[in-house]
Structure 1
Amino acid sequence: MASGVVGEEVRNKQVILKDYVSGFPKESDMQVINGTMKLKLQEGSHGIVVKNLYLSCDPYMRIRMARVEGPSVLTSYTPGSQPLTGFGVAKVLDSGHPNFKKGDLIWGTTSWEECSHITELEGLFKIEHTDVPLSYYTGILGMPGLTAYAGFYEVCSPKKGEYVFISAASGAVGQLVGQFAKLMGCYVVGSVGSKEKVDLLRNKFGFDEAFNYKEETDLDGALKRYFPEGIDIYFENVGGKMLDAVLLNMRDHGRIAVCGMVSQYNLAQPEGVQNLMCLIYKRIHMDGFAFFDYYNVYPKFLDVVLPYIREGKIKYVEDIAEGLDSGPAALVGLYSGRNVGKQVVLIARD
């Protein structure tokens, strides 16, 4: 039960991790339990109590299911007791903080449960624009959207007419990077894991080309086919063999924004990358980044993206699973590419 809250207890369904995970996660690695919590804060508390509406399934959560050792911006989940945490959309039920009041809608870090007591309020954003679906604040207007915006515009410094490649391009981040690039007048190609997703990139998101990496026996050859003049910008979501092939196909002074490496998350021993000398030969700028380093550009991001959404210039695809009980299956499905678009779990409608 959360500290700092008083009053009548209510049932509070939660998703917990049973034990640290190795290899591909399974639904059985998680458990849905019935906990309890109180919905009224103690006098003097500076936290908030929220009702969770939508939860975001994100690839980085796999890292937190393992025992995180060494330097990392991520910490391990606590098996057997505390619910998973991640990004979500919620409604404030009680507040001891001047920046939030009862009835406010917020997005940011919350827990995988029906209601949460949040004491760490840094990185929580009040939702001011409700003329778009609230679920968008788990995706296009939340962490993935800011990640795509910051990684493309701030890290990659794109120019009109450049050649842009995106891996995991139908996911929550990749689909947006591709559309940002097209709006700038770039040539854009994405890699995905199914014919359905190839069609999605070409026909809905407006990519110039797309390919199914599972059908390519020679990734270097595939990239030479789509980029005969080389790649200026690579938005990296996958790592491993794809990164190795991309390095061979980068143009001089190309830029690589390293957002994630989902192909490596379930491996006991990450794959080595052999073509790193290309960074020297081609003077490639390769930058890892984290979206929370760019909180300061969130207002600017909204000013750019909200009009795009309202005018239909950006399309966004969500894959919504209903109910907290569906959460483990939805999360696990990320790592086999089961989802099409941004994977969201609907807990309750406002």
Structure 2
Amino acid sequence: MVQAKKWILAHHFDGQPKDSDLQLVEETLPDLKDGDVLIEAVFLSVDPYMRPYSARSLKEGDTMIGSQVAQVKESRNANFPKDSYVVANVGWRSHTVTSDESLLRPVPPFGKLPLSYALGILGMPGMTAYFGLLEICHPKEGEVVLVNGAGGAVGSLVGQIAKLKGCKVIAFAGTEEKCRWLREDLKLDVVYNYKKVADQEKAIREAAPDGVDCFFDNVGGEAFTAGIHNMKTFGRVSLCGAISTYNAKGEELRGPYANGIIISRQLKLEGFIVLRWLPKWGDAIKETIGWIQQGKVQTKETVTEGFENMRAAFYGLFTGDNIGKAVVKA
């Protein structure tokens, strides 16, 4: 029998997450039956979406949601041989026994690239950037693309793909280190530290006096409003996330409202969940691997050591501690 550790949602989040909201517990896993696999976490993902989704899909005492790269330690399932690697949607668990193949996806061949990329640029965040920009915004050469949350796993790739498509990119991030990376390494055209910008709407207007064609919004709230007010007629907006509102309560969630601008400029706004394009992920991953190998795109990871530090790594997402993808090395 295997002793496993898991993080449970002890209390639903109320405003900013607190240490008492997540609890580390142990359990004994059952012996394997036909069709079962035993997997051991190697890298685990922490992502902003876990904050709102936990409220919608979990009850107190449930294992915290999330994906991991895991190694198959024992197998009674021919589709997942011993020692192979999978991306497993099993939550914050050190070890898992399951026969549910819908939760497991073999890690595609990455060559010499790190396994952790399966949780970042070659996983859900990377595919979110790829499809959210290309399938919803359809950026064209010479257009202006605005992306906020640009120092994270999704936003940083959005900016780079937009540059590959010949666009001018305006990016917002939350620290000087992130801004330097975006400006100096990723070569994005105009980069702002939103914490040092008194008026985001004015800053965007100065960078794009003729308006913005495509807006990839990871932040919501005031940042969303600032972007909408700078859109061109018939502009396209991809609504990916709203991290600025995830910890808000009550009155903090009210306005301002941009309905008039959306209507008068005939904007196209579309929210999305990236799993809608899951059948196309394979080809997109191959193209992204090619971009990495050719030096056309870069990625960064903020790696936290130790399964016991999952909670701290997750909370750091809401204080801007990570550059690029945040992962935990078990």
The TM-score bracket by the shorter chain reads over 0.9
Q: Which residue, out of 34, 49, 68, partners 2:38?
A: 49
User: Against the structure 1 CA distance between its residues 128 and 230, is the aligned structure 2 distance closer, same or farther, given a 3 Å change threshold?
Assistant: same
| 1:319 and 2:307 matched | no
> 2:239, 2:39 → 1: CA distance?
33
> 1:123, 1:234 → 2: CA distance?
33
How many Å apart are 1:119 and its aligned residue?
4.2
Q: Which residue, out of 153, 177, 183, partners 1:172?
A: 153
Q: Which residue, out of 2, 12, 21, partners 2:13?
A: 21
Find the counterpart in structure 2 of residue 90 from structure 1: 70
TM-score of the two chains, using structure 1 as the length reference: 0.89
Q: Is the 8 A contact 2:190 2:207 kept in 1?
A: yes
> 1:108, 1:272 → 2: CA distance?
38
Q: Is the 8 A contact 2:38 2:72 kept in 1?
A: yes
Unaligned runs of 5+ in 2: none
CA RMSD of aligned residues (A): 1.6
How many Å apart are 1:35 and its aligned residue?
2.2
Find the counterpart in structure 1 of residue 175 from structure 2: 194
- After superposition, residues 187-266 of structure 1 pair within 5 angstroms as 187-266=168-247
CA offsets 1:167-212 (integer angstroms, 9 cap, x no match): 1001010000001011111101111111111111101222111101
Secondary structure at the aligned position of 2:255 is classed as: coil
Q: Is the 8 A contact 1:161 1:186 kept in 2?
A: yes
| 1:37 and 2:29 matched | yes
* Displaced runs of 4 or more, over 6 A: none
Find the counterpart in structure 2 of residue 185 from structure 1: 166
Unaligned runs of 5+ in 1: 1-8, 69-74
Q: Is the 8 A contact 1:14 1:83 kept in 2?
A: yes
Find the counterpart in structure 2 of residue 63 from structure 1: 52
> 1:116, 1:28 → 2: CA distance?
24
Q: Which residue, out of 319, 325, 329, partners 1:336?
A: 319
Find the counterpart in structure 2 of residue 103 from structure 1: 83
CA offsets 1:202-255 (integer angstroms, 9 cap, x no match): 012221111011112212111111111111000010111111111110011110
CA offsets 1:130-167 (integer angstroms, 9 cap, x no match): 42100101100010011111101111111111100101
Percent of pairs identical after alignment? Answer: 36
Find the counterpart in structure 1 of residue 104 from structure 2: 124
Structure with higher helix content: 2
How many Å apart are 1:99 and its aligned residue?
3.1
> 2:103, 2:135 → 1: CA distance?
19
Amino acid at match of 1:188: V
Find the counterpart in structure 2 of residue 71 from structure 1: none
- After superposition, residues 293-308 of structure 1 pair within 5 angstroms as 293-308=276-291
Q: Is the 8 A contact 2:151 2:174 kept in 1?
A: no
Amino acid at match of 1:112: W
Q: Is the 8 A contact 2:316 2:322 kept in 1?
A: yes
> 1:141, 1:254 → 2: CA distance?
28
CA offsets 1:108-139 (integer angstroms, 9 cap, x no match): 41221211123443363212314210010110
CA offsets 1:54-76 (integer angstroms, 9 cap, x no match): 1111001111343x3xxxxxx12
